[in-house]
C-alpha cells in the first residue's frame, strides 16, 4: 500500500503527514533537534505560542533558509493561538506576536489551540489564581473566535487555519461557519478516537495526531501528580510483535498505524537517531491483522493522556471539550 506523504490542502498546498512536534523542549535543545529534523528531511514543524519556544524554532528554521528565500516555500510551519487569546479582538495581536517570534513572513497553518479560554494577562500565558487554579475566561464565544481566526487569512500572513482539541459537536459547529483546514487532536494506540475521526472524515477535515508516541514526559508528570499509571505505548505487546515482524522500532509501528488510519502525526524527539527513525516510516506496511490487533488496544477516554487536568479548574469552562 503506497500512502500519500502529504495532505493536499484547498489551494494545492501540501502538508507533510509526518511533522516535527516541539512541545516541552527547551530552547537550546529544540534548536539542535530542529537542525537534526531538517537534516533528516522533516519540512512540517508544529509549534504553539503556549509552548513558549517559537523564537528558538524560528532561529533554527531561518538558519536553514539562510539567504535562499525559496527554501521557505519548502517548509510547512504551524503554530497556535493560545487559550489567553480566545477573544476575537485579541486574535490578531497573538497571531502577530507568533509571527514576530518565529521571524517569518507568513505561516502555513494557524490553529485555535483549545476551545476553552484563559483570561488575557499580558506577559502570562498561563495565568493562575493564588489557589493554583487557572484564571479561566468563561465568556468564550467559540464561533466569534473562529471567525476572527478565519479573517487572519485576508492579510496573507497565514495560508490555512484550523483547530485543535475540539470535540465532535464543536467541530460540527465550527464547520457550519467554515471547515477548518485541519483538526489536531491526541490520537494514538490507546486513544484512537474512532467517533471523532469518523466525524472529521464526514466533514472533510484532515486530522493530525499529537502525542502519537504517548508523550512520555507528560504521562510521567501526570502520573507523579495524580498517581494514575500510564502504560508505555512503545512496549505494548501488540506493538512489540509488529515491530519484531517488520524489524522496525516500536515508534515506527505506532506512526505507521496512524498513517494507515489516514492521519498525519507529529512525533517529538530531541534525539537525532530517533528523529530519523520517526520519519522513516514509508517503506513498510502493517498487515490487516496487525492493524486489527493495534486497533483493539483502544481504551477510549481512559487512554487519553492530555486531558488538561494540569490546568486546575479548566473543566468548569463551558467549552471544555472532554467528558468530565
**Active-site residues: which are they?**
51
Q: Which three cell numbers stand for residue 253?
A: 509501528
SS (H, E, C) 260-276: HCCCEECCCCCCHHHHH
Q: Does 234 bind ligand A2P (CB under 6 A)?
A: yes
189 in Cβ contact with 239 (< 8 Å)? yes
Q: Does 303 bind ligand A2P (CB under 6 A)?
A: no
Selected from 185, 269, 297, 314, the binder of ligand A2P by CB under 6 A is 269
Distance, CA of 255 to CA of 15 (rounded, Å): 16
Q: Which is nearer to ligand A2P, 23 or 95 (CB)?
A: 23
Q: Which is nearer to ligand A2P, 240 or 271 (CB)?
A: 271
Q: Which is nearer to ligand A2P, 62 or 274 (CB)?
A: 274
Spacing of C-alpha 30 from chain mean position: 16
Min. distance of Cβ 86 from ligand A2P in angstroms? Answer: 24
Q: Under rule CB under 6 A, which residues in 271-290 are in contact with ligand A2P?
A: 271, 274, 277-278
Closest to 64 measured CA to CA, from 41, 94, 47: 41
The partner residues of 191 in beta bridges, in order of sequence, read: 188
Distance, CA of 133 to CA of 299 (rounded, Å): 29
Distance, CA of 123 to CA of 158 (rounded, Å): 24
The binding track of 249-268 with respect to ligand A2P, each residue x by CB under 6 A or -, is x-x---------------xx
Largest CA distance in the chain: 55
The window from 38-46, 80-88, 140-148, 210-218 that contacts ligand A2P (CB under 6 A) reads 210-218
Min. distance of Cβ 209 from ligand A2P in angstroms? Answer: 9
Q: Does 40 bind ligand A2P (CB under 6 A)?
A: no
What is residue 21's three-state secondary structure?
strand
Q: Which is nearer to ligand A2P, 30 or 99 (CB)?
A: 30
Min. distance of Cβ 241 from ligand A2P in angstroms? Answer: 17
Q: Under rule CB under 6 A, which residues in 213-232 are in contact with ligand A2P?
A: 213-217
Selected from 16, 19, 21, 180, the binder of ligand A2P by CB under 6 A is 21
Q: How many CA atoms lie within 13 A of 28 on its CB side?
A: 0
Strand boundaries in the chain, DSSP class E: 6-8, 14-16, 20-21, 44-46, 76-81, 107-112, 158-164, 183-186, 207-210, 264-265
Q: Which is nearer to ligand A2P, 276 or 312 (CB)?
A: 276
The window from 74-82, 128-136, 212-220, 290-298 that contacts ligand A2P (CB under 6 A) reads 212-220
List of residues contacting ligand A2P (CB under 6 A): 21, 211-217, 234, 249, 251, 267-271, 274, 277-278
Amino acid at each position: 500500500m503506497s500512502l500519500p506523504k502529504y495532505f493536499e490542502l484547498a489551494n494545492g498546498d501540501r502538508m507533510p503527514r509526518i511533522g516535527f512536534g516541539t512541545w516541552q523542549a527547551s530552547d537550546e535543545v529544540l534548536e539542535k533537534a530542529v537542525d537534526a529534523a531538517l537534516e533528516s528531511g522533516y519540512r512540517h514543524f508544529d509549534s504553539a505560542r503556549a509552548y513558549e519556544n517559537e523564537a528558538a524554532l524560528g532561529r533554527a528554521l531561518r538558519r536553514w533558509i539562510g539567504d535562499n528565500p525559496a527554501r521557505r516555500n519548502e517548509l510547512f510551519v504551524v503554530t497556535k493561538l493560545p487559550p489567553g487569546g480566545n477573544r476575537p479582538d485579541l486574535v490578531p495581536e497573538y497571531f502577530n506576536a507568533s509571527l514576530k517570534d518565529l521571524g517569518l513572513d507568513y505561516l502555513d497553518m494557524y490553529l485555535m489551540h483549545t476551545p476553552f479560554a484563559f483570561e488575557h494577562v499580558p506577559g502570562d500565558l498561563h495565568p493562575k489564581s493564588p489557589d493554583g487554579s487557572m484564571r479561566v475566561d468563561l465568556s468564550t464565544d467559540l464561533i466569534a473566535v473562529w471567525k476572527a481566526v478565519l479573517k487572519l487569512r485576508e492579510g496573507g500572513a497565514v495560508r490555512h487555519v484550523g483547530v485543535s482539541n475540539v470535540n465532535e459537536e464543536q467541530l460540527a459547529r465550527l464547520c457550519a461557519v467554515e471547515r477548518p483546514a485541519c483538526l489536531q487532536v491526541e490520537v494514538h494506540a490507546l486513544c484512537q478516537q474512532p467517533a471523532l475521526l469518523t466525524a472529521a472524515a464526514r466533514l472533510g477535515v484532515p486530522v493530525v495526531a499529537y502525542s502519537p508516541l504517548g508523550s512520555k514526559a507528560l504521562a510521567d508528570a501526570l502520573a507523579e501528580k495524580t498517581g494514575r499509571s500510564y502504560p508505555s505505548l512503545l512496549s505494548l505487546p501488540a506493538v512489540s510483535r509488529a515491530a519484531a515482524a517488520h524489524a522496525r522500532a516500536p515508534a515506527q509501528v505506532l506512526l505507521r498505524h496512524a498513517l494507515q488510519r489516514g492521519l498525519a502525526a507529529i512525533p517529538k524527539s530531541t534525539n537525532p537517531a530517533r528523529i530519523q527513525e520517526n520519519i522513516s516510516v514509508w517503506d513498510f506496511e502493517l498487515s490487516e491483522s496487525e492493524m486489527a490487533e493495534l486497533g483493539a488496544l483502544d481504551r477510549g477516554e481512559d487512554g487519553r493522556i492530555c486531558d488538561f487536568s494540569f490546568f486546575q479548574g479548566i473543566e468548569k469552562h463551558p467549552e471544555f471539550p472532554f467528558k468530565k
